[in-house]
Amino acid sequence: MEMVDRYLQAVRFWLPNGQQADIIAELSEDIRAQMDERAASLGHPLNKDDVEALLRRRGSPVVVANKYLPQQSLVGPLLFPLYRFVLKIVTLCILVPTALGFLTILVTPAMHEGAARHWASRIGITLGHVWTGWFAAMAVVTLVFAILERTEARTQLLDTWNANKLPPLRHPHMIPRSTSAFEMAVNLCVLLWWATNMPSPLELHIGSWRISFSPAWSWFFWAVLLLTLANVVIASVNLLRPYWTVQRVVVRTVADLAGAAFFCWLLKANTIISIAAPGSSPQKAIADANFINQWLARMFPWAVVVCVIVALGNLWRLVHLRKQSDAKPMRAATV
């Protein structure tokens, strides 16, 4: 019987003070009634193992006590989807700058070779900051939602919505016209600027500055001209027919990859010969050009990362599009 008393004591620990005696008295009576019945069916008094088996079947003291308590949750089922969404956004907001931070750490030793030995400690410190920041952010979000859960704000948050203000229907393959118009305007401006400020493929005029390039630059000059023109054409087509098709994604991917390849090549090609500011000496113009060339070369890893991201984005769009077109065609529902 001592085992039963110990069990009841363990259950009592988890119960609210005001109800402990009442619940334990009833539970105790139930257990003893069950034991009497069991002993009668076995034909002998229960031994330690029998009692242990009987209590085990009832469940752990915490579980038993928990059933008497009101259902409690820090963030309830109504707010939980919103809570999870906010956590994801916050995590993303922390992870993206962290990834950029790691890239900076990876790139900077190339600039200052002496700093290479500090890599491990710098990565460790960054990870520590990220962990602390992420943990604090999660705690703050959880706290805010726990407060919302326990105040009238929850009702207001979930009840005050307007069907008229819901976001418009999204077509998975739609290209927003605003994006196409913006893309076209930017490319036209670049095209115009490129054509008017470069009287020859080897010289760029920016105000009173004169930037001279090596002959290799002419490849870049024509590439930019052609790619910008191609982008204007793609944006115009997208503006008129604002849906992605496999062909259009392939064309866009090729244009993006070509642009990325030329840009990466430019960073490493040392194409700037001199940057002549008004009144500066030829030596200064060459020194400035060398500085810019070196700076551009250091940007190379970043450029590669950006290019890979762009390529992956296009690839994802292509795969998604193929998947959708393999599935049955989607019907647009309009109300």
In the complex, the smallest distance separating the C-beta of residue 79 from other proteins, rounded to whole angstroms, is 23
Number of residues that bind other proteins (CB under 8 A): 15
Alpha helices per DSSP H over the chain: 2-14, 20-42, 48-58, 61-66, 80-111, 119-149, 153-159, 177-197, 217-240, 246-268, 282-298, 300-326
Q: Are 302 and 103 in contact (CB under 8 A)?
A: yes
| Choice between 25 and 158, CB closer to other proteins | 25
Among 111, 7, 10, 107, smallest CA distance to 55 is for: 7
Of residues 68-127, which lie at the interface with other proteins (CB under 8 A)? 68
| Choice between 26 and 52, CB closer to other proteins | 26
Of residues 14-73, which lie at the interface with other proteins (CB under 8 A)? 23, 25-27, 29-30, 32-34, 58-59, 63-64, 67-68
Beta bridge partners of 210: 205, 276
Angle CA(201)–CA(204)–CA(208) in degrees, nearest 5?
Answer: 150
Here's the x/- map for other proteins, 212-251, by CB under 8 A: it reads as ----------------------------------------
In the complex, the smallest distance separating the C-beta of residue 27 from other proteins, rounded to whole angstroms, is 7
The DSSP secondary-structure symbol of 203 reads E
| Choice between 5 and 26, CB closer to other proteins | 26
In the complex, the smallest distance separating the C-beta of residue 22 from other proteins, rounded to whole angstroms, is 8
Tell me which amino acid residue 272 is: I
| Choice between 25 and 174, CB closer to other proteins | 25
Of residues 270-289, which lie at the interface with other proteins (CB under 8 A)? none
| Choice between 13 and 119, CB closer to other proteins | 13
> Using CB atoms within 10 A of its CB, is residue 301 exposed (0-12), middle (13-18) or buried (19+)?
middle
Cα of 42 vs its chain's centroid, Å = 63
Task: Give me the torsion for CA of 57, 59, 61, 67, rounded to 10°.
Answer: -130
| Choice between 34 and 236, CB closer to other proteins | 34
In the complex, the smallest distance separating the C-beta of residue 31 from other proteins, rounded to whole angstroms, is 8
List interacting residues with other proteins (CB under 8 A): 23, 25-27, 29-30, 32-34, 58-59, 63-64, 67-68
